[in-house]
């Protein structure tokens, strides 16, 4: 990196208040940054050096100076692990509402990095909790994806809205499910409105269907799938299809030709046969045990012999033979079985 001054280097590589003070006494410019406008305070905060930061601020360092990507010293302090430094900067006038080039406030970044002990020092009145990044994400969404229950709880206490969605129509609930964070999913199911889930699972402009069950299946989170099926969202939401030409099937382009939409059962069989192998039967049983005859009908209709490969058909046979509970399926699947045999 070019344009570094002795003071900046001292703050970057040394935790020496004596050296920093000596350079300041010799006339070093406390706010002079390098070619990317990283100032001495940026570097001190990035490395969590509270004592050095105090000397710099006392010498007139600008606590809200932005570097080349609009990060402030507070952003840098959040990236460290020093919560006391974050508290100090805020007490000295650091603006918690400033957004970096990605649209992230300090609160957003703290949520993304699971810094619960820093979030509690940030006043919601000064930094709206639902401020969005450039992709429309909120602090709650990234916290849900990271899976830190304490951060999610703190954000909800501060008024974070779980019904919001990013520009791609992804909600905090979607991210928690796809990341397999059971405790966070459980909490979000309680506070997210059914209407919001339905709206963002079926939005006509969404490039990818946001099927909750398919997200759990894609991540291979059986406990999350069971939780979803035991919730009060209702069969319609839980069995919404996922669009197979979307991101969940991006590595399987051949499937997008025949299957424009997939139910959870179809999605399971089309995408997880190789990964789950015989364990796929456990997922299949969980799906079929949920609800009533409508699931059996959907299961039967999912297996048109002309549209599925040998692996899919073999799972059908294996499931019927190993699970006596579903012996009535033998009658319903007779055309499939005759085709296979």
pLDDT at 90: 94
- Percentage of the chain lying above the pLDDT 70 cut: 74
Q: What is the C-alpha to C-alpha distance for residues 285 and 327, in angstroms, rounded to an integer?
A: 13
Residue with the larger pLDDT of the pair 150 and 205: 150
- 109, containing H or E segment: helix 106-112
Q: What is the pLDDT of residues 179-221, one digit of tens each?
A: 999 999 999 999 999 989 888 876 656 545 568 898 999 999 9
- On the question of pLDDT at 162 being above 80, the answer is yes
Q: What is the C-alpha to C-alpha distance for residues 117 and 115, in angstroms, rounded to an integer?
A: 5
* 308 in a structural domain: no
pLDDT at 326: 47
**Angle between the 6-13 and 17-25 helix axes, to the nearest 10 degrees?**
170
Q: What is the pLDDT of residues 29-53, one digit of tens each?
A: 999 999 999 999 999 999 999 999 9
pLDDT at 278: 78
Residues 310-336 as b or e (16 or more Cβ within 10 Å = b): eebbebbeebbeeeeebeebeebbeeb
The answer to whether the beta carbons of residues 67 and 33 sit under 8 Å apart is: yes
Q: Using 50, 70 and 90 to split pLDDT, how confident is the model at 268?
A: confident
* 248 in a structural domain: no
98 Cβ neighbours under 8 A, 6+ residues apart: 64, 66, 70, 72, 74, 75, 105, 106
Q: Tokens standing for 265? A: 């059962």
- 330, containing H or E segment: helix 328-332
* 29 in a structural domain: yes
Per-residue pLDDT, averaged over 219-243, amounts to 82
Q: What is the pLDDT of residues 238-249, one digit of tens each?
A: 766 655 444 444
3-state SS assignment for residue 119? helix
Q: What is the C-alpha to C-alpha distance for residues 173 and 96, in angstroms, rounded to an integer?
A: 26
Residue identified by tokens 């619960």 is 116
Taken as a whole, the chain contains a residue count of 341
CATH number of domain containing 59: 1.25.40.20
Which of the 8 DSSP states describes residue 221?
-
* 220 in a structural domain: no
pTM: 0.81
* 2 in a structural domain: yes
* 83 in a structural domain: yes
* 228 in a structural domain: no
Q: What is the C-alpha to C-alpha distance for residues 248 and 211, in angstroms, rounded to an integer?
A: 11
Count of the separate structural domains present in the chain: 1
pLDDT at 66: 97
- Structural domain including 8 reads 1-95
The answer to whether the beta carbons of residues 298 and 265 sit under 8 Å apart is: yes
Per-residue pLDDT, averaged over 158-185, amounts to 95
Which of the 8 DSSP states describes residue 5?
-
- On the question of pLDDT at 148 being above 60, the answer is yes
- 295, containing H or E segment: helix 293-301
Q: Tokens standing for 136? A: 């429309």
The answer to whether the beta carbons of residues 239 and 223 sit under 8 Å apart is: no
Q: What is the C-alpha to C-alpha distance for residues 241 and 215, in angstroms, rounded to an integer?
A: 11
Q: Using 50, 70 and 90 to split pLDDT, how confident is the model at 331?
A: very low
Per-residue pLDDT, averaged over 2-31, amounts to 93
CA 66 to each of CA 46, 75, 121, 191: distance values in angstroms, whole numbers, following the listed order: 13, 10, 21, 37
* 1 in a structural domain: yes
């Amino acid at each position: 990196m070019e344009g570094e001054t002795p003071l900046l280097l001292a703050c970057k590589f040394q935790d020496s208040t004596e050296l920093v003070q000596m350079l300041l006494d010799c006339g070093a410019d406390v706010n002079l940054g390098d070619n990317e406008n990283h100032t001495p305070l940026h570097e001190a905060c990035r490395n969590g050096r509270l004592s050095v930061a105090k000397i710099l601020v006392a010498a007139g360092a600008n606590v809200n100076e932005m570097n080349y990507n609009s990060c402030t010293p507070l952003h840098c302090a959040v990236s460290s692990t020093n919560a006391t430094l974050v508290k100090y900067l805020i007490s000295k006038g650091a603006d918690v509402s400033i957004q970096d080039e990605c649209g992230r406030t300090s609160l957003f970044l703290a949520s993304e990095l699971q810094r619960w002990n820093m979030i509690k020092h940030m006043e919601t009145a000064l930094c709206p909790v639902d401020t969005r990044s450039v992709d429309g994400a909120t602090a709650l969404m990234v916290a849900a994806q990271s899976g830190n229950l304490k951060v999610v709880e703190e954000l909800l206490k501060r008024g974070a809205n779980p019904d919001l969605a990013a520009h791609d129509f992804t909600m905090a609930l979607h991210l928690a499910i796809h990341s397999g964070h059971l405790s966070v999913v459980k909490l979000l199911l309680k506070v997210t409105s059914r209407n919001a889930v339905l709206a963002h699972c079926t939005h006509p402009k969404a490039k990818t269907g946001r099927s909750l069950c398919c997200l759990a299946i894609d991540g291979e989170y059986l406990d999350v799938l069971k939780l979803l099926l035991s919730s009060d969202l209702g069969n319609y939401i839980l069995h919404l299809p996922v669009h197979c030409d979307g991101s969940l099937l991006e590595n399987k382009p051949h499937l997008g030709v025949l299957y424009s939409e997939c139910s959870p059962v179809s999605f399971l069989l089309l995408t997880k046969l190789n990964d789950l192998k015989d364990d796929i039967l456990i997922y299949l049983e969980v799906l079929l045990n949920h609800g009533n005859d409508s699931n059996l009908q959907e299961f039967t209709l999912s297996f048109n012999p002309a549209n599925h490969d040998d692996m899919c058909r073999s799972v059908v046979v294996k499931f019927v033979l190993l699970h006596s509970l579903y012996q009535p399926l033998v009658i319903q699947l007779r055309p499939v079985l005759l085709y296979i045999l």
